[in-house]
Structures are given as structure tokens and as C-alpha cells.
Amino acid sequence: MLAHLPILQVIVPLMAAPTCLILRKPKLVWLFTLLASSLAFIISILLLQQVMQTGTISYELGGWSPPWGIEYRIDQLNAFIALIISGVSTVVLLAAQTSIEKEIPQEKQTLFYILYLLSLTGMLGILTTGDAFNVFVFLEISSLSAYSLIALGKDRRALWASFQYLIMGTIGATFILIGIGLMYQMTGTLNMADLATRLPEVAESRTITTAYVFFIVGVCLKLALFPLHFWLPNAYTYAPSIVTAFFAATSTKVAAYLLIRFTFSIFGISFSFTTLPMETLFLILGLLGIFIASTVAIYQDNIKHVFAYSSVAQVGYMIVGFSLSTHAGLTAMLLHMFNHALMKGALFLALAAIVYRVGSTRIADFQGLGRQMPLTMAAIVVGGLSLIGVPLTVGFVSKWYLVVAVIEKGWWWLAGLVLLGSLLAVIYVWRIVETAYFKAPIAGRHPVKEAPMAFLVPVWLLVSANVYFGIDTRLSVEVATAAAKSVFGVVQ
Amino acid sequence: MTMILGLYNYWIVIVLMMIGFYIIISHGHLIKKIIGLNIFQTSVFIFYISVGKVEGATAPIWQEGILLYSNPLPHVLILTAIVVGIATTALGLALIVRIKEAYGSVDEDEIQSMDNQDVISQEKEHQQC
């Protein structure tokens, strides 16, 4: 049983999805989905433990040995991110039933859970697989279900956002397909470990440069790296609230994983950062993302829009860490991926609770909520502080590691810019606090009640994780360091 | 000349790809966008298929006396990608049907302007209360 964990990680949610059709009743399907997601979470914990103790696990699919068969390969890096994804998915699901009762018609609720599980399958598949083409297939599984999930939103703008995402996402996926095709053409293999050994021999050719560029542009579209982020804000804003909470915490992380995996482990650092000027390019795009997206976030009227743009900015921080191409930089990036999942999960789930009670997330509707929904608003405040990077929250930890990594390189000006970016976060978080706590409740509106327990429990689970991992950083830092080490270990 | 004739399959791929890409960007009609997307994807399918061809080799079906076979792997890969492409097209068309129901239009600019209108009217509504 333990030997088959890598495949079970993907198979459990995949098989659970069609099973939902038999169960039918939304409540029952919800419990079943929760069970499947928890199982995936438990599997990912076991896998991480196993990897931390014994090192990389290679699993041969159907007993065919790689590179002929498909190999699932788990190391510290993907075990860590699989843990983030399945963990957030499970916590978010706790609130799902209550939230979608109001947002999705009864007859579509079962289908919602099926799509949710398929999306989870796709993401976990991308993480566990050791085969480049398999990545494309799983990417499309997760994307296609993502488009449909977003289109389930109540507002008609959800349809338009979903369509735009479909066009952009498919272009991105096709670019990735071209990249993989060119790699295969030059090396004759699709196995990642095999690719890593064969690519350096042909790295001088223009074909390989083209392959890398196509692949990376495709991944950056999925990552919503500035300036390829246009699909993200509307998709996050008009999707059902639960979907937003799930995607904001997970989908960009998976794309970031692909970026790390292909740039560092497969193409190798000497190719990506020495032959090509990717270092500078990523640094500039990351910084632009931080400043432009944060500034746009300040002027938004819909809080979901605010946090969606803030997500684009947070991707910028990850990319800045990535562009340093040092062990410390990668550790900072991985930590920020973990921490960002915790904060955005908490924030968007709290927004889901507000949608449940108030029916809107426009900033004007937040007036007086500080007193009427004290626990939910407190969660948003803690999440916001974490987003800014206040000490004792996870946001501080990742900013700290990022600044230390930057200073290690001797780039003081960059450290200054990173901190300046946090100040922009102060502004957009303060606007919410000001409206919610210092303005009188809207006259004539029915007094709003505190969110039901179904929301408060998962929201506060994530919020306390924000604080816990902000104080006791042993677990997250240890795993992130090990993951960064495993990536650089392959290179040398 | 050999650059063009010897590598003609790549030129076809590139031309098709650019045609598809251009349609996606330039046309406001949503169905035309999906058609552009299809052409774009098809070009990649052709790329994979033509890469698998080995000169002087036959189809990859085992037969006595034949030593050289074309590489069947890219063909198998692309079968998967074609299925994905069909799923994407189907989903895209389904979305267009829903968009038509909700907006009464399948034109990008019209939809965009209706969305902007929505935002403005919401703000007005808000100012009144």
C-alpha cells in the first residue's frame, strides 16, 4: 500500500469524481468529496514524511521501467507543494456546502463537486508526474475543469471571464505542448530525469532555446505573471466564492512549480540563467508585477478584485525570489508559495462568508461589518496583516527570507523595493479596515448576522495557521530548505 | 531553397500557427475565435505528426523484412492532444451558447461594453441608496 502512494495521490480524487454521479444527493456528495480530498491530504503528508526520510521516490506506472514507461517521481519539492494543494483543498471544502447552497442551483451542485475533484486531480497529477507529456495532459484536466467551475458563477460576467480564461489558457497550454514537442524532437525522451541528462548535450542549438521560451511563456500565462495576468482578476472575482478560495490558494502554485522544475531541474541553471538573460527578465517582470498590480488593487471597488490583483502582486514576489537563482532565493519563493496559500485561502474564504451573509463584496457594503460580523472581519484583518508582512504572521516570514536572500546577493536597492511594495499592501488593506470598522452600518439595511460555523471553522483554521507558521517556522522552513536543496542537488 | 523545401513541414506549421493566432487576436466574433484556436492547435498536431516521420521508413506496423519504421510515439501523444482539443472546443462552444443567452450577443466589443455599463449602473444604484 505504502509503495503505491504516488499513484494513489492522483487516483483517489480521479476515481472519486465519477463516483459522485452515483451518490447524487448534494449533501452526500459533499461529504464524499471531503473524504476524498482528506485522503489525498493524508497521502501527501505520508509522502512528504517518506521523502524527507529516504529521499526521492520513483514509481513505475504499470511496472514499465522509465524512460519507456511513465514514471511518477516524488521529491521534496513536489511533495511539499502537493501538501499545500491538498491541504488547502480540504479546508476550503469544509465550507463548500454552505457556500454553494446560495450561489449554485441545486441541480448543479453535484456537478460542481465533480469538477472540483477533477481540478484537484489535475493539479496533483502535474505535481507527481515525472513525464513531460503527462504534465500537459494533467494541466488540461485541471484547466478545463477550472473554466467550467468559473462559469458556474452567478453573475453573467463569470461566463465572459471564463471564456477569456479559456482562450488564454488554451494558448498557454498549446505553447507548453510546442515546447515539449521540441524537447522530444531534440532528445527523443519525455521522461524528466532523462531529459535533464540529455538536454545539456544539445543545449547549444536554437531549437532548445525555442523549446524553453515556448514552455516558459506558456507556464507564465498559467502563473498569471505580469503582463500575462489579464485573465485572472475577473476569473477570480466572478467565480463562485469557494472556487476563488480554492484557485487563489492553489492554481498559481502549480504553475510556479512547473517553472521551478523545468528551469532548475530539467534545463539546468547554467542554461536558463547563463545562456539566456532570464535572470534580468524575471526580475523586471516580478518587480513590475508587484508595483503595478498593487497600485491597481488600491483603486478597486470590489474586494474580490482587490485581492485578485494582490495575488498578481504576490506572484511578483515569488518571481523575484526565483530570479535570484540562489538556494536562499528559491527557499524564499517556496516559503512564499506556502504562506501565500494560507493567507489567500483565509482571505477569500472569509469573503465567501461575507457573500453568504451580505450577497456582495463591494467595498461600500462593508460599512459597519466590523461590528456585525466581528469574527469574519477579524479574520480578514489578520489575513491582511499577513499579506502586508507584519511580524508574527507568515507574511513576515517569507518577506524576511526574501530580503535576506536579496541582501545575500548584495542588492540593497532590491531589498528596499520589496519593502516598498509591502507599503502598497498597507493601503489596500487599510481601506477595508477603515470601511468595516470606522463607518456606521448602512442605514436601512437589515442587520447582518455573523457567518455560520461552517465558514468560521475553516476560516479560523487557516488564520491560525497563518499565525502559527508565523511564529513556529521550523516545519515550513525546514521543508522549503530541503526542497530547494533537492532542486539544486539535481543541477550539480 | 533547401531551407524552404527541405523543411517544408515546419513552414506549413508556422504559417498555420500564425493564421490561427491572428484570428484569435483580431476577430471579435467568439465563434471565429474558437475556430482560430482550432487552427492554432492543429498546427501543433501537424508538427508532432511530421516529426515522427523517419525518411525511407514505413508505417509502424510490424512486418517481416522491414527494418525501418516511423516513430509511432508522437502520433500516440497527439491523439491525446486531439482529444483535449475537442474537449476545449466543446467547452468553448458551450460557453458561447450561455454567453449568447445572457448577453444576447457573441461579439467581444459589445459584451465588453455591456460589462462596463453594468459597473457604471451599479455605482449609480449605490449612490442613490
Would you say residue B35 lies in a domain?
yes
Q: Report pLDDT for A392.
A: 87
- Inter-chain touch A140–B87, beta carbons under 8 Å: yes
Pick from A165-179, A413-427, B16-30: least confident: A413-427
Q: Which of A70, A138, A155, A160 to mutate to test the interface with B (most CBs of B within 10 A)?
A: A160
CA distances from B70 to A75, A180, A320 (A): 35, 19, 45
Half-sphere exposure of A138 (CA within 13 A, CB side): 26
Q: How confident is the model at residue B127 (pLDDT cuts 50, 70, 90)?
A: low
| Cβ contacts of A179 within 8 Å, gap of 6 or more | A211, A212, A213, A214, A215, A216, A218
Contact predicate A466/A383, CB 8 Å: yes
Q: Give the whole-angstrom CA distance, residue B31 versus residue B96.
A: 7
Would you say residue B62 lies in a domain?
no
Nearest CA in chain A to B120: A301
Q: Is B4 on the interface with A (CB under 8 A)?
A: no
Which residues in A lie closer than 8 A to residue B83 (C-beta atoms)?
none
The mean pLDDT value for A446-458 works out to 84
Half-sphere exposure of A437 (CA within 13 A, CB side): 13
The mean pLDDT value for A340-346 works out to 92
Would you say residue B34 lies in a domain?
yes
Structural domain count, chain A: 1
Q: Is B49 on the interface with A (CB under 8 A)?
A: no
Would you say residue B58 lies in a domain?
no
Q: Is B105 on the interface with A (CB under 8 A)?
A: no
Q: Is A468 on the interface with B (CB under 8 A)?
A: no
ipTM: 0.92
Q: Report pLDDT for A309.
A: 93
Q: What pLDDT digit, counting tens, does each position of A121-140 carry?
A: 999 999 999 899 999 999 99
Would you say residue A287 lies in a domain?
yes
Would you say residue A310 lies in a domain?
yes
CA distances from A320 to A172, A290, A326, A436, A443 (A): 22, 9, 11, 33, 46
Would you say residue A50 lies in a domain?
no
Find the CB nearest B80 among A137, A160, A170.
A137
Nearest CA in chain B to A151: B95
Domain span at residue A390?
A: 277-492
Amino acid (1-letter code) at residue A323: S
Nearest CA in chain B to A445: B129
Quote the cell numbers at residue B107. Answer: 461579439
Q: Give the whole-angstrom CA distance, residue A446 versus residue A428.
A: 27
Q: Is A156 on the interface with B (CB under 8 A)?
A: yes
Mean pLDDT value across chain B:
87
Q: Which of B95, B103, B119, B125 to mutate to test the interface with A (most CBs of A within 10 A)?
A: B95
Domain span at residue B28?
A: 2-52+70-128
Structural domain count, chain B: 1
Residues in chain A: 492
Would you say residue B65 lies in a domain?
no
Q: Report the DSSP beta bridge partners of residue B58.
A: B69
Q: Give the whole-angstrom CA distance, residue A271 versus residue A233.
A: 33
Q: Report pLDDT for A91.
A: 93
- Distance from the Cα of A160 to chain B's closest Cα (Å) equals 7
Q: Give the whole-angstrom CA distance, residue A195 versus residue A217.
A: 19
Q: What pLDDT digit, counting tens, does each position of A85-107 carry?
A: 999 999 999 988 888 888 888 88
Find the CB nearest B102 among A156, A166, A167.
A156
Find the CB nearest B41 among A144, A174, A442.
A174
| Cis ω before A66 (30° cut-off from 0) | no
Does the structure show a pLDDT above 90 at A65? no
Element (H, E) at A28: helix A26-54
The mean pLDDT value for A306-333 works out to 90
Does the structure show a pLDDT above 50 at A342? yes
Would you say residue A391 lies in a domain?
yes
Question: Concatenated DSSP letters for A320-342?
Answer: HHHHT-SHHHHHHHHHHHHHHHH
Q: What pLDDT digit, counting tens, does each position of B50-106 carry?
A: 888 888 888 888 888 888 888 888 888 999 999 999 999 999 999 999 999 998 888
Q: Report pLDDT for B69.
A: 87
Those of residues 118-137 in A touching chain B at CB distance below 8 A are 133, 136-137
Those of residues 352-371 in A touching chain B at CB distance below 8 A are 362, 364
Quote the cell numbers at residue A23. Answer: 451518490
Pick from A29-38, A133-142, A380-389, A447-456: least confident: A447-456
Burial class from Cβ neighbours inside 10 Å (0-12, 13-18, 19+) for residue B1 reads exposed
Nearest CA in chain A to B48: A181
Q: Is A147 on the interface with B (CB under 8 A)?
A: yes
Would you say residue A316 lies in a domain?
yes
Q: What pLDDT digit, counting tens, does each position of A246-295 carry?
A: 999 898 999 999 999 998 888 887 777 777 788 888 999 999 999 999 99
Q: Report pLDDT for A491.
A: 43
| Cβ contacts of A458 within 8 Å, gap of 6 or more | A91, A92, A94, A95, A349
Would you say residue B75 lies in a domain?
yes
Going by C-alpha positions, the residue among A416, A383, A382 that lies closest to residue A402 is: A416
Question: Concatenated DSSP letters for A252-316?
Answer: HHHHHHHHHIIIIIIS-HHIIIIIS-HHHHHHHHHHHIIIIIHHHHHT-SBHHHHHHHHHHHHHH
The CATH number of the domain where B27 resides is what?
1.10.287.3510
Q: How confident is the model at residue B125 (pLDDT cuts 50, 70, 90)?
A: low
Contact predicate B102/A159, CB 8 Å: yes
Using DSSP, state whether A239 is helix, strand or coil.
Answer: coil
- Distance from the Cα of B64 to chain A's closest Cα (Å) equals 24
Would you say residue B15 lies in a domain?
yes
Contact predicate A109/A240, CB 8 Å: no
Would you say residue B105 lies in a domain?
yes
Q: Give the whole-angstrom CA distance, residue A260 versus residue A62.
A: 28
The mean pLDDT value for A201-225 works out to 88
Would you say residue A121 lies in a domain?
no
Would you say residue A358 lies in a domain?
yes
State how beta strands A57-60 and A71-74 pair: antiparallel
End-to-end CA distance of chain B: give it in Å, rounded.
Answer: 72
Which residues in B lie closer than 8 A to residue A137 (C-beta atoms)?
80, 84
Q: Report pLDDT for A492.
A: 39
| Inter-axis angle of helices A453-471 and A76-103, nearest 10 | 150
Q: What pLDDT digit, counting tens, does each position of A461-485 carry?
A: 999 988 888 888 888 888 888 888 8
CA distances from A423 to A197, A277, A294, A428, B35 (A): 44, 30, 9, 9, 45
CA distances from A188 to A68, A146, A180, B48, B71 (A): 11, 32, 11, 12, 10
Does the structure show a pLDDT above 60 at A381? yes
Mean pLDDT value across chain A:
88
Q: Residue ranges of the alpha helices (H) in A362-452? A: 369-372, 374-388, 394-408, 412-438
Q: How confident is the model at residue B1 (pLDDT cuts 50, 70, 90)?
A: low
Would you say residue A144 lies in a domain?
no
Q: What pLDDT digit, counting tens, does each position of A419-446 carry?
A: 888 888 899 899 888 888 888 877 777 7
CA distances from A202 to A111, A306, A325, B51 (A): 47, 45, 22, 17
Burial class from Cβ neighbours inside 10 Å (0-12, 13-18, 19+) for residue A103 reads buried
| Cβ contacts of A312 within 8 Å, gap of 6 or more | A224, A226, A229, A232, A233, A289, A293
Nearest CA in chain B to A146: B91
Q: How many CB atoms lie within 10 A of CB B11?
A: 12
Half-sphere exposure of A330 (CA within 13 A, CB side): 24
Q: Which of B27, B84, B124 to mutate to test the interface with A (most CBs of A within 10 A)?
A: B84
Contact predicate A248/A342, CB 8 Å: no
CB pairs under 8 A between A and B: 76
- Distance from the Cα of A400 to chain B's closest Cα (Å) equals 39
Question: Concatenated DSSP letters for A95-132?
Answer: HHHHHHHHHS-GGGHHHHHHHHHHHHHHHHHHHHB-BH
